[in-house]
Amino acid sequence: MNATHTVRFRQVDVFSAVPFKGNPLAVVFDADGLDTARMQAIARWTNLSETTFLLQPDDPDADYRVRIFTTGGELPFAGHPTLGTAHALRESGYRPRRPGRLVQQCGVGLIELSERDDGCWAFAAPPARITPSPVAGHAELARALHSDAIDFAAPPCTVDNGAPWLMVRMQSAADCLALQPDIAALAPVTRAAGTDGLAIYGPHAAGGPTDFELRCLMTGGSFGVGEDPVTGSANAALACLLDAQGRRPAASYSVRQGTALQRDGRVAIEHDGDGRIWIGGACVTVIEGSFRY
């Protein structure tokens, strides 16, 4: 069947100002005429970790509505799609109702975005539910990661802000980067924790490139399988967990992700005076065009 419709499209690299060093995102504009099946088909075709679809909001407080799809299903929230979609929308000529502010409507409700002093944008992390992982599973976790460098003094926890991650702290950033995990063996560990993803982090030494190194391993389900280059939801989950465990290094700090994949994602975390956590970073458009269907 010949294509009879077109929609605008951009592919954005998120959490990097340098093309090909962040996490790519496909953004489809004017998607109100697309049904769920068509959106899922497009997301499978792009074969990216996420594809987003911009729609007219049905909440009067929102600038826009977005639906977020992986190759395997729809997510109520994800971080790098939130930043990347907002970037694509602004670059297309959209003017926010309030200068320097945007409100996104998505599956978890309304997400506020704000322009920071460095010109980058950040989103306010949605509320997170933190659930400690059963101690009985710690040995299985260590075996699946092939590591004895897990820092169990900070208990592994599932942190769910719309995209649940099992958060595991390593003794150092070097230990995090040295991991050669068995993804198949990790799958039952993450399933038992109520998630399909494992976010592993470790602190850099003083003077390092950032405060923390982070890796996100996806073990199936709607997340797919493999390692994610740079993950906004997991960085938001990490910020919430560090705060809850009293391990936050400062009001503002930074995370590097993607190193094991030869990327160089940089995520800025800021705790404001109102109790909100902001997750920010640079974005750059790499491809602009249209979809035909």
Give the separation between CA 34 and CA 29, rounded to whole angstroms. Answer: 10
Give the separation between CA 63 and CA 104, rounded to whole angstroms. Answer: 6
Contact between residue 228 and residue 72 where contact means Cβ atoms under 8 Å apart = no
Distance separating the N- and C-terminal Cα atoms of the chain: 9
List all residues 6 or more positions away from 145 whose beta carbon is below 8 Å from its beta carbon: 168, 179, 181, 182, 186, 200
Residue tagged active-site, from 50, 213, 227, 270: 50
Active site residue 227: no
Contact between residue 3 and residue 41 where contact means Cβ atoms under 8 Å apart = no
**Which residues belong to the active site?**
50
